[in-house]
Amino acid sequence: MYSRSSEQNPNISDAQSIMATILKNLPRECSLTKIEYEGPRIALHTNNPKFLLENNKILPNIVAQIKKRIVLRIDETLRVEEDKFKKIVEKSLAKKSNISDILFDPALGEAVIFLKKFTEITNIESISDQLTLDTGWKVTFKKAPKMISSIKAINKIAKDTADYRVQFFKKVGEKIFRERMNANYEASLISLGGFAEIGRSAMILSTNESNILIDCGLNNYTDDPLLKFPRFDSIGKKLSDIDAVLLSHAHFDHTGFLPTLFKYGYQGPVYCTEPTAYLMYILFREYVRNNGKFAIYNGIDYEKIFSHIIYLNYNIVTDLTPDIKVTSYNAGHILGSSSFHFHIGNGDHNFVYTGDIKFGKSSYLENAVWNFPRVETLLIECTNGGREDSFMTREEAESKLINEVNQVLKAKKIVLMPTQLIGTSQELLVTLDQFIRQKKIKKCKIYMDEILAEINSIHEFDSEFLNKDLHGNIISDEYNPFRSKSISLISDIEGQELKTGIVIYPSSTLNCHKTFEYLKKIATDPDNLIIFTSKPNETSLARQIIEGKKMLSMGREQIEVRCRIESIYSLNSHSDFNQLNAYISRLRSKLKKIIVNHGERSKVQNLSSYSSKVQNVPTQYMLNQEALKLL
Amino acid sequence: MYSRSSEQNPNISDAQSIMATILKNLPRECSLTKIEYEGPRIALHTNNPKFLLENNKILPNIVAQIKKRIVLRIDETLRVEEDKFKKIVEKSLAKKSNISDILFDPALGEAVIFLKKFTEITNIESISDQLTLDTGWKVTFKKAPKMISSIKAINKIAKDTADYRVQFFKKVGEKIFRERMNANYEASLISLGGFAEIGRSAMILSTNESNILIDCGLNNYTDDPLLKFPRFDSIGKKLSDIDAVLLSHAHFDHTGFLPTLFKYGYQGPVYCTEPTAYLMYILFREYVRNNGKFAIYNGIDYEKIFSHIIYLNYNIVTDLTPDIKVTSYNAGHILGSSSFHFHIGNGDHNFVYTGDIKFGKSSYLENAVWNFPRVETLLIECTNGGREDSFMTREEAESKLINEVNQVLKAKKIVLMPTQLIGTSQELLVTLDQFIRQKKIKKCKIYMDEILAEINSIHEFDSEFLNKDLHGNIISDEYNPFRSKSISLISDIEGQELKTGIVIYPSSTLNCHKTFEYLKKIATDPDNLIIFTSKPNETSLARQIIEGKKMLSMGREQIEVRCRIESIYSLNSHSDFNQLNAYISRLRSKLKKIIVNHGERSKVQNLSSYSSKVQNVPTQYMLNQEALKLL
């Protein structure tokens, strides 16, 4: 409605000046065939890739000037057929049998070669470059994970829609690099879900140029549509207003509603890390499988997502729209989980959304990043933000875990650990496997539901998102907990004979159809033990058991819980109250305002008032369906 | 997008059951010709009005059952021509010459007879009733004000659009009494202007059924469109989404943008008190006159408003939409100023917007109402909400005023009092005139710019909105400060000879084209005195003078401020910090939340934190372009 017509729009000729800078800095020998937007990147297509690969300072130099992401692409006419590609690769590697799979993405001209043993190739970079030149495909090597089916399934979608994706990337790029329509900068945060509650996390970062949807979750613990879905119905934004979707991590309460957006016609980009994409694919598939005709979308709906994904790497600035840049940082919560730093306008406002964070020790992930250059407004999660959520230290937790487990193993009995499918499962697997190796606990079976094998495989596939040591160990085949010999998969709990050991059961709430079978086998023995690692929500069976309920019934069957019950919440994938405050303390001097979300109302109230009073930063929590002016 | 389909909509047959109740309770003798919506009222048209006038408990009895406003209308066929009406009236009154004017509203079938002397008719009610029966017009008597031109101008618009208005009232009623579309209740407050600032007050009370625009102001102290207009551009609501506009009072910062809404196509109802309508008409007219081609609308635009007004009386519950009822209460700020109490859903939430309030003694208005039956959320203004805004008591202020004025009058000099056109002008006029009558100050001239004569006339016309004593005095001709013999109007300050006395100058900021002429005559004499009664904003000339600026220049001319400068802020039309807190204290026990608006950022911050800590009610301020969930 209004614009400050007297001011000069500073970005009017940005797109032009970017092109001019690129052309000015590229010698003739680069032999460009086209310059094209590829989503947030500018793709330089060449039929002389050798020159730019050898003169490898030219592109970084341009990037430094234009501050945009550039990617080198080999002209499509130089690409060899897939069959020929395989032959060339087989020839160039010492052992042909080392290749497990090759996946192609024709839209980007990229090929990923999966190796059984990474260590057999010493000079991996020069081999990649040579193969790139020889085949016309940008080649990368990955270590082959134990299971590759979901990775192949996503690759198939990408391949099947390659032509569409080429046009999609171009269109997205044109929108990102369009001229700004406003000279002034304004920004608001609009809460759709996950504020003063957990579940259905979703919000819109809105400026007068852009609308970015951040997370798009579903609350699977209610059937009331007003509580289950993000409140898109009452915020005055249409699906077509959304320029981009960003996902902080794969968990269903942050992603589960996304297929519905595609079902109803969203066709824009979805930005997330690679593990987030692969992990959420598995979650969507399981949701549709488990919910049958009650699922609110089907395979066709969620598969659409995977032809619209643009991957984010940690620590790389990416233009989302003409006035918003985002950088994804490790959030330490689960594999590929991000905190997002948003740079709005010309740095007029810097907004950080933590996503779910673990600001504390983990056996398989790095600690959450906190050292952002600038932050005016921080939006922080609050799962464990109650005053009662000051858990024991990691050291105390580990020693309690060791003692409890050893006691049970000594009696040749079983420990059941109900936990999240993604996150704490891996934390426990790696921790327990290391304890066994370090002989801190007795050698024993680590039983896991078979779905975990697939989840674990994504951790192998994207091992660069694990902590440095573990990544190094896996790549070098020195140590890989996800292939530990202690692991024993359970495909059918009823038919399974359970020896003494630890059962990692991927449902922290125990609200799962298999639960009863597990409990029947384990909970009825007074010498067995259940250890909870997260505080389950009020409506869950887990909560009832923690609170002492003994008789459980399902249909006509009844079981009596006779085993011991313990909890070690420090092991869970969220920061506790102290860790949240430690995180805030680190950032405090930079902050103008803190907003608290993703926690029960009493917890967001507690953290807000503590942070306002003790940390002395103006802090508030929002409810859903609110809008808050940031700038 | 979502609805709780399992619940039964409780209001499905409301409209039907209302009709049934009405018909059931009306005896045959009522002789109804039609029942029709008339905005928020149900109009019963009869061709036997005598019966219902005589059996005057029938209608109140129905109102008590259906809880809707009912109005009795005489069938149009019984109405006499205007000329005949005049003759009948002249016959029925003792003195024909007592009639000054008669105004007709054919859309409602109402006639207002203006009397020069009210006291000459003793049995006014029975005469009205008899005239109503004899003429077919609903007759009321009013005391004739000094100037009637703007009152006639508004009446002319209403008459010229009478046919349109009949349809308009019907359409509005059909919207109000429609079935609800949702069974659940939700409500949000959306801030468009006047939050953490003064000027351009506007907000939307939004439920899943309704959108009520509350106030619609313009900030006339800036030319930046992003600061000048309410932010309709960024809230995701279209003009056509707005069901109703409510105006708390006439001041331009609460009404000035309304003509633009009509210019761009708004055709819905505007609810306000009668004085608000008449006073804002004068303000719109003056704005267009003074701003010429720079005015953002013209006479045609603002005149449209006056065929869409539905009057609110204090203390009467009015249905605005199927899920919102409003009651207007005296706010003590200016003539006809309202605080609004909103009853949302079935009393699921009660929201009070104070508007601008004076919770303190005034010489011409009643104190602001505070004893609402229920209030969960209070939105309170904060013009004087800074810690520094604890002004002296009314008693101290009056004694200071008396001393200062007498000192100047003794020296036969002049006191200049820059003040608001509407509000403090009348406060000062009445106060000073009473001081003269009480001989607390010397008899002297009270000079006023001639525009004030028109404003004062609205105070006579709507004297029932003054405090009880003053209203009684005016009606009975015992005492009328607006006709005081001390008053001397100034039409041309340059040509005016100023004797000793007090000049009420209707610009508190002094940012007015006539200011220089006034200052030239008054400020240059060291024995004269300027008394400010409100804290002027930072960009104003008044502020510069208060802060000690001596040399003022306009064009080539310069004047030196040599007179004394004083301020008595207690006399202004807003509550001071103590009065705001006294008001909050009265309501405290009922409140769940307080929101603070209409004040500079530092002041809303101060009142919020004081109210949170000392009053112990969760209090926050909002910025513009925010949305806050109430329910």
Q: Do B225 and A4 touch (CB under 8 A)?
A: yes
Whether residue A1 and residue B184 make contact (CB cut-off 8 A), yes or no, is no
Which residue from A minimizes the CA distance to B241? A236
Cβ atoms of A531 and A414 within 8 Å: the answer is: no
Which CATH code for domain B14-77?
Answer: 3.30.300.230
pLDDT value at position B3? 36
* Chain A residues with CB-CB distance to B265 below 8 A: none
Cross-chain CB nearest to B1 (options A1, A4, A232): A232
Q: Which residues contact A247 (CB under 8 A, 6 or more apart)?
A: A215, A216, A254, A255, A258, A270, A271, A272, A276, A280
Residue to substitute from A200, A234, A593, interface B, most B β-carbons within 10 A: A234
The residues in A 280-319 lying below 8 A from B, measured between CB atoms, are none
CB contact under 8 A, A229 and B2: yes
What's the CA gap between B573 and B427, in Å, rounded? Answer: 8
For A612, nearest residue in chain B (alpha carbons): B609
What average pLDDT score do residues A577-582 get?
98
Mean pLDDT estimate for chain A = 94
Answer whether A234 sits within 8 Å of B208, measured CB to CB: yes
How far apart are the C-alpha atoms of A155 and A101, rounded to whole Å?
12
Domain with CATH 3.60.15.10 in chain B: 186-387+576-629
pLDDT value of residue B19: 86
Q: Which of B2, B184, B629 sits opposite A625 (nearest CB)?
A: B629
pLDDT for A233 equals: 87
Is the pLDDT score of A1 beyond 80?
A: no
d(CA B577, CA A441): 67
| Burial label, A88 (beta-carbon count in 10 A; 0-12, 13-18, 19+) | middle
- CA of A3 vs chain B CAs: smallest distance (Å): 7
Chain A contact present for B1, CB below 8 A: yes
Given 3-state DSSP classes, what are the helix, strand and coil percentages for chain A, each rounded to the nearest 5? Answer: 40, 25, 40
Residues 6+ apart with CB under 8 A from B429: B446, B448, B452, B456, B481, B482, B484, B487, B504
Residue A628: its chain B contacts at CB < 8 A?
A: 623, 626
All CATH 3.60.15.10 domain ranges in chain A, comma separated: 179-387+576-629
Which candidate in A6, A209, A226 is best for mutational testing of the B interface (most B CBs within 10 A)?
A: A226
CATH of domain A394-571: 3.40.50.10890
CA distance B589 to B568: 33
Q: Which of B226, B237, B620 sits opposite A184 (nearest CB)?
A: B226
User: pTM score, two decimals?
Assistant: 0.91
CATH 3.40.50.10890 domain residues, chain A: 394-571
Q: Say whether residue A602 is in contact with chain B using an 8 A CB cutoff.
A: no
The reply to whether residue B226 touches residue A623, judged by beta carbons under 8 angstroms, is no
The answer to whether residue B229 neighbours chain A at the CB level (below 8 Å) is: yes
| Maximum C-alpha span of chain A | 81
Kindly state the tokens that stand for B539: 């960009």
Write out the two tokens for B130: 């008899």
- Secondary structure letter of residue A573 according to DSSP: S
pLDDT confidence of residue B233? 87
Three-state secondary structure call for residue B274: helix
Q: What tens digit of pLDDT does each residue of A428-470 get? A: 999 999 999 999 999 999 999 999 999 999 999 999 999 999 9
Q: Which of B189, B226, B596, B606 to mutate to test the interface with A (most CBs of A within 10 A)?
A: B226
B6 touches chain A (CB under 8 A): no
- Which parts of chain B have pLDDT scores under 50? 1-12
CA angle at A61 for the pair A55 and A64, rounded to the nearest 5°: 155
- Tell me which chain A residue has its CA closest to the CA of residue B619: A620
DSSP string, A71-94: EEEE-GGGPPPHHHHHHHHHHHSS
Contact B226/A624, CB-based, under 8 Å? no
Helix, strand or coil, per DSSP, at residue A351? strand
Smallest CA–CA distance, residue A585 to chain B, in Å, is 23
Task: Compute the count of residue pairs across chains A and B with CB atoms less than 8 Å apart.
Answer: 68
**B121: three-class secondary structure by DSSP:** coil
Contact B626 A624 (CB under 8 A): no
ipTM of the complex as predicted? 0.85
A190 at interface of B, judged by CB pairs closer than 8 A: yes
Residues paired with residue B104 on neighbouring β-strands, in sequence order: B111
Residue range A15-77 forms a domain whose CATH class is: alpha beta
Contact B188 A3 (CB under 8 A): no
Please give the Cα distance from A233 to A225 (Å, whole number). Answer: 11
Q: Are the beta carbons of A110 and A162 closer than 8 angstroms? A: no
Residue A627 to residue B2, Cβ atoms within 8 A: no
Contact B626 A629 (CB under 8 A): yes
CATH number for domain B186-387+576-629, candidates 3.90.1150.10, 3.60.15.10, 3.20.20.150, 3.20.20.70: 3.60.15.10
B624: contact with A, CB 8 A cutoff: yes
Percentage of chain A lying above the pLDDT 70 cut: 98
Fold for the domain defined by B79-160: GMP Synthetase; Chain A, domain 3 (3.30.300)
Q: Are strands B270-272 and B244-246 parallel, antiparallel or unpaired?
A: parallel
Query: Min CA distance, B627 vs chain A (Å)?
Result: 4
Closest to A626 (Cβ–Cβ): which among B3, B226, B627?
B627
Residue B456 tokens, joined: 């004062």
A628 touches B: beta carbon within 8 Å: yes
Q: Across residues A548-574, what is the average pLDDT?
A: 93
> For residue A487, is pLDDT > 70?
yes
Question: Which residues, at least 6 apart from B205, have a Cβ–Cβ distance to it below 8 Å?
Answer: B187, B188, B189, B190, B211, B212, B214, B324, B342, B351
B329 strand-pairing partners: B339
Fold of A179-387+576-629: Metallo-beta-lactamase; Chain A (3.60.15)
CA distances from A607 to A318, A363, A578, A586, B618 (A): 31, 27, 10, 16, 15
Q: What is the largest CA-CA distance in chain B?
A: 81
Decide: residue A252, CB within 10 A, 0-12 exposed, 13-18 middle, 19+ buried.
buried
Rounded alpha-carbon distances, angstroms, from residue A215 to A337, A344, A371, A621? 12, 18, 23, 18
